[in-house]
Amino acid sequence: MTARSLHGKTALVTGSTSGIGLGIALSLARQGANIVLNGFGDAEGPKAEVAAHGVEVLYHGADMRQPAEIDDLMTQAAATFGRVDILVNNAGIQHVANVEDFPVDKWDAVIAINLTSAFHTTRLAMPAMKAANWGRIINIASAHGLVASAQKSAYVASKHGIVGFTKAVALETATTGVTSNAICPGWVLTPLVQKQVDARAAAKGQTNDQAKNELLGEKQPSLQFTTPEELGELAVFLCSPAANNVRGVAWQVDGGWTAQ
Site of interaction with ligand NAD (CB under 6 A) = 15-21, 38-41, 63-65, 90-93, 113-114, 140, 142, 185, 187-188, 190-193
| Three-state secondary structure readout of 78-123 | HHHHCCCCEEEECCCCCCCCCHHHCCHHHHHHHHHHHHHHHHHHHH
Q: Of the two residues 96 and 193, which places its CB atom closer to ligand NAD in the complex?
A: 193
| Distance of closest approach, residue 112 Cβ to ligand NAD, in angstroms | 8
| Distance of closest approach, residue 124 Cβ to ligand NAD, in angstroms | 15
Half-sphere exposure of 64 (CA within 13 A, CB side): 27
Choose the catalytic residue: 134, 155, 165, 187: 155
Cα–Cα distance measured from residue 256 to residue 252, given in angstroms and rounded to the nearest whole number: 8
Give the number of other Cβ atoms within 10 Å of residue 166's Cβ.
26
Q: Of the two residues 46 and 135, which places its CB atom closer to ligand NAD in the complex?
A: 46
Q: Of the two residues 64 and 234, which places its CB atom closer to ligand NAD in the complex?
A: 64
Q: What are phi and psi of 252, to 5 degrees?
A: -75, 140
Alpha helices in the chain (DSSP H): 19-30, 44-51, 67-81, 104-111, 117-132, 153-172, 191-204, 208-219, 228-238
Cα–Cα distance measured from residue 10 to residue 60, given in angstroms and rounded to the nearest whole number: 14
Cα–Cα distance measured from residue 84 to residue 148, given in angstroms and rounded to the nearest whole number: 33
Contact 148, 215 (CB under 8 A): no
Q: Of the two residues 65 and 247, which places its CB atom closer to ligand NAD in the complex?
A: 65
Q: Of the two residues 39 and 135, which places its CB atom closer to ligand NAD in the complex?
A: 39
Q: Of the two residues 147 and 192, which places its CB atom closer to ligand NAD in the complex?
A: 192
Cα–Cα distance measured from residue 185 to residue 169, given in angstroms and rounded to the nearest whole number: 20
Is 59 among the residues known to form the active site?
Answer: no
Q: What are phi and psi of 10, to 5 degrees?
A: -120, 130
- Angle (CA) 41-99-94 rounded to 5° is 20
| Host H or E run for residue 258 | none
List the catalytic residues.
Answer: 155
